[in-house]
């Protein structure tokens, strides 16, 4: 069961639905009044990526009803529906609850309910909320602008490497900061290791020993996939001076 936040009470949705009352006129007839309108405006974040820290999900609902609740139901777990109470500002209702790491992965059907002044109830559209482990979702990575200078040099002279490690974040490639990058020679040996700066850029150096190809390598971690750059050939000429 999820951890509820700012809930005056948590009750089965059937109980909330059963509380609907009809307004009765003095002559005993049932009054017919306009039903309340209710609209689920959004759930954020959705999906919720939960890591070491809990994630608070916010549900926004617009309604002209006198009271609004949000029902949550987890079909896969077969749990009884729960009901969230929210806060109101005009016709805008806000509901919040917290999802913790031990509760994921999970899915919930989220449905808003509004009660009119006469006690009649209207339910809005149902939206699926998903929660996954942040550790299970890794960003795609790639190297850009990997360069070696010079590409032809004398044995024993310095060789300089530069480039940038990027990750796909919210649909855009952004610099991946503070990650360890290895410069690897074609025989598999690591000739230099460096940490990217705040923009994902890196600079490394080695001493020219023999001709061959070099590439940059990122081993990956809990949040980002591994990546390897294109290889660049360096020609080393023996220093006969």
User: What CA–CA distance (Å, rounded) separates 227 from 190?
Assistant: 15
The reply to whether domains 3-136 and 141-237 share a CATH topology is yes
Per-residue confidence at 214, pLDDT binned at 50, 70, 90?
very high
Give residue for tokens 């948590």: 10
Contact 122, 114 (CB under 8 A): yes
Per-residue confidence at 20, pLDDT binned at 50, 70, 90?
very low
Average pLDDT, the chain: 84
Average pLDDT over residues 170-188: 92
Per-residue confidence at 33, pLDDT binned at 50, 70, 90?
low
User: What CA–CA distance (Å, rounded) separates 90 from 37?
Assistant: 14
CATH architecture of residue range(s) 3-136 = Sandwich (2.60)
Instruction: Tell me: pLDDT of 224 over 70.
Output: yes
Q: What is the pTM of this model?
A: 0.51
User: What CA–CA distance (Å, rounded) separates 116 from 68?
Assistant: 9
- pLDDT tens digits along 82-134: 889 899 999 999 999 899 888 888 889 999 999 998 989 999 989 989 888 87
Instruction: Tell me: pLDDT of 3 over 60.
Output: no
- pLDDT tens digits along 139-149: 899 999 999 99
Beta bridge partners of 235: 152
Per-residue confidence at 11, pLDDT binned at 50, 70, 90?
very low
Give the tokens for residue 224. Answer: 């980002």
CATH fold, domain 141-237, is: Immunoglobulin-like (2.60.40)
Instruction: Tell me: pLDDT of 223 over 60.
Output: yes
The residue ranges of every structural domain in the chain are 3-136, 141-237
């Amino acid at each position: 069961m999820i951890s509820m936040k700012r809930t005056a009470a948590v009750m089965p949705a059937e109980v909330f639905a059963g509380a609907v009352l009809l307004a009765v006129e003095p002559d005993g007839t049932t009054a017919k009044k306009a039903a309340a309108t209710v609209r689920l405006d959004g759930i954020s974040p959705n999906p919720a990526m939960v890591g070491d820290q809990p994630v608070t999900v916010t549900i926004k609902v617009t309604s002209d009803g006198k009271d609004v609740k949000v029902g949550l139901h987890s079909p896969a777990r077969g749990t009884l529906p729960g009901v969230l109470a929210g806060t109101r500002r005009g016709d805008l209702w806000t509901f919040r609850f917290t999802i913790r790491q031990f509760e994921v992965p999970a899915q919930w059907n989220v449905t808003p309910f509004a009660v009119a002044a006469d006690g009649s109830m209207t339910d809005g559209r149902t939206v699926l909320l998903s929660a996954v482990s942040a550790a299970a979702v890794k960003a795609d990575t790639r190297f850009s602008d990997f360069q070696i200078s010079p590409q032809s040099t004398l044995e024993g002279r310095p060789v300089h490497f530069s480039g940038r490690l990027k990750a796909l974040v919210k649909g855009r490639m952004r610099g991946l900061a503070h990650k360890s990058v290895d410069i690897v020679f074609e025989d598999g040996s690591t000739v230099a290791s460096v940490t990217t700066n705040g923009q994902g850029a890196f600079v490394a150096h080695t001493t020219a020993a023999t001709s061959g190809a070099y590439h940059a390598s990122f081993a990956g971690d809990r949040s980002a996939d591994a990546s390897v750059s294109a290889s660049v050939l360096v020609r080393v000429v023996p220093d006969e001076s």
